[in-house]
Amino acid sequence: MAHENELIEQRLLKLEKIKEKGANPYTQQFRKSADIADVIKDFKDHETVASLAGRVMAVRSHGKSIFADLVDSTGKVQIYIKKDPAAEGNFELFELVDIGDIIGVKGELFKTRTGEPTVAVK
């Protein structure tokens, strides 16, 4: 039980930090452009911008970049966030996101060197 209370405290602390950064963690203003499966299926090798929403299922941090798996009821897509001063603190905000959180992201789709469709979050 003590371990569970520690996790809850950590999550509540992250929630407060998100609010301190001026982000509303409960907003319902985000509008997705399509389901993940549709965006992946329709993706070509040219610039495609998409707004997607889903649950964070995995996070891989690589110093100045973060990759994560975003899943909705139709499929999974990788998202990529790069530490960039012009990105208005998006990287620092995403560092507060936990596996299981439901988020919305907007960005340009590209394929990684391994050919995986990925959203470069803006």
What was the pLDDT predicted at 91? 87
Q: Would the pLDDT of 60 be above 90?
A: yes
Task: Determine which of 17-21, 46-50, 111-115 has the lowest per-residue pLDDT on average.
Answer: 46-50
Q: Would the pLDDT of 80 be above 90?
A: yes
Q: How much is the mean pLDDT over the chain?
A: 88
- Of the candidates 66, 71, 36, the one whose C-alpha atom is nearest the C-alpha of residue 51 is 36
For residues 88 and 90, what is the distance between their CA atoms, to the nearest angstrom? 6
Contact residues for 27 (Cβ-Cβ < 8 A; gap 6+): none
Q: Would the pLDDT of 24 be above 90?
A: no
Whole-prediction pTM:
0.85
